[in-house]
Amino acid sequence: MCKIAICDDDKEYREKIKTVIETEGILSSNEIRLYEYESGKELLEDADILHDLIFMDMRMPGLDGNKTVLKLREYNEAAILVFCSGCFEPTPDSINVGQPFRYIMKDLHDRSLKKEIPMILLKVKLCCGDSSVTVTSAGRIMRIHTEDILYICLAKRGCTIYIARQGKIEEMHCKESLSDLYECLAGRGFEYAHNSYIVNLAKVEGLEKNVALLPFGIQLNVSRSRKGQFADALITFLGERNGMV
């Protein structure tokens, strides 16, 4: 189920977006759930929903689109964001932090809307699959793109997730157990290298003796009891990715 938010103080434009989404046929009615908001404040009050796609009007009373986006990204980094406006007016922060997928210009005959929505829906259809995992961190529900995860290790009262973003490593503590996360990530290219950590096989650059080599010079010991299983999973994963299996 893809959760789509339309945040715009113009009810007529919200209806236009809904109509185009429903008539495109890329996502069926049973694949989506639509949410409407008249202001950024209303959207942020529904933080627990973790929308997959958000259409954001730039000009709204109270919190405008730029300010709303900065608060939104504090808890939902994975949402596909689409700016909508009659004029181009994002701030550097809303672009750098918000990272919008598209910027739709409002025009008289909605040409831009009709042109861009098919690509937007294809993107969200892809991302609503197995591309993210939801965790609880610092009292907030967060969604993390699996492609950003390097590895996850056991920690006190939960796990620490090591994430690669914009050329640097971030650490995120979550309350979920390692076994629960492994179950959530089953079939998505994650495997135990040790009883204390699971590794994103897509990030493994090499396996030398009992050491898995990851980006940023990270070296993780592969335990003797897990080595055979880990090596087999890595070979299968690489074969599937390269179309050899």
pLDDT at position 53 is: 94
pLDDT at position 165 is: 82
Confidence at 242, pLDDT banded by 50, 70, 90: low
To 10 degrees, the CA torsion angle through 11, 16, 21, 25?
140
Mean pLDDT value of segment 144-166: 92
Indicate whether 34 pLDDT > 50: yes
Mean pLDDT value of segment 162-175: 92
Mean pLDDT value of segment 112-135: 83
- Classify residue 156 by its DSSP letter: T
- Classify residue 52 by its DSSP letter: S
Map tokens 């390692």 to a residue: 178
What is the token pair recorded at 113? 């809307």
Indicate whether 2 pLDDT > 90: no
- Classify residue 47 by its DSSP letter: G
- Average of per-residue pLDDT values in the chain: 89
Coil vs helix vs strand at 160 = strand
pLDDT at position 245 is: 46
Mean pLDDT value of segment 138-151: 87
Indicate whether 64 pLDDT > 70: yes
Helices 11-24, 111-127: crossing angle, 10 deg rounding: 60
Q: Which of 56-65, 68-77, 87-96, 205-214 has the highest mean pLDDT?
A: 205-214
Q: Which residues pair with 83 in a beta bridge?
A: 56, 103
pLDDT at position 99 is: 85
pLDDT digits (tens, 9 = 90+) for 192-218: 999 999 999 999 999 998 999 999 999
Mean pLDDT value of segment 159-182: 93
pLDDT at position 130 is: 58
Indicate whether 27 pLDDT > 80: yes
Residue 199 has a CB neighbour count (10 Å cut-off) of 27
Map tokens 């994975």 to a residue: 78
pLDDT at position 221 is: 97
Kindly give, in sequence order, each residue whose CB lies less than 8 Å from that of residue 87, ignoring residues fewer than 6 positions away. Answer: 105
- Classify residue 139 by its DSSP letter: T
Q: Percentage of the chain with pLDDT > 70?
A: 96
Query: Where is average pLDDT lowest: 85-94, 109-118, 159-168, 232-241?
Result: 85-94
Indicate whether 5 pLDDT > 70: yes
pLDDT at position 97 is: 77
H/E segment holding residue 227:
helix 224-241
pLDDT at position 203 is: 96
Indicate whether 187 pLDDT > 90: no
What's the length of the chain?
245
